[in-house]
Amino acid sequence: MSELSYEEARAELAAVVEKLEAGGTTLEESLALWERGEKLADTCQRWLDGARTRLDTARTERAADPG
């Protein structure tokens, strides 16, 4: 799952939510969809957290060494 890019994960997440909202799935399917959605959302969040860390690190380095 971690090999998904942020955009791929987000697109799939949106699709999963749409499917869940549309209904018409069995309970088993709904649960599986929800679990998938949670995983995808976690992947997205990991990407965003990583990006923010990199941004903050770059800024800190910049502040420490204004060359």
Whole-angstrom distance, CA of residue 19 vs CA of residue 6: 20
Select 3 or 26, whichever has its Cβ closest to other proteins. 26
| Residues near other proteins (CB under 8 A) | 6, 10, 13-14, 17, 20-21, 27, 30-31, 34, 37-38, 41, 44-45, 48, 51-52, 55, 58-59, 62
Select 3 or 17, whichever has its Cβ closest to other proteins. 17
Whole-angstrom distance, CA of residue 34 vs CA of residue 14: 12
Kindly give, in sequence order, each residue whose CB lies less than 8 Å from that of residue 66, ignoring residues fewer than 6 positions away: none
CB of 10 to other proteins, least distance (A): 7
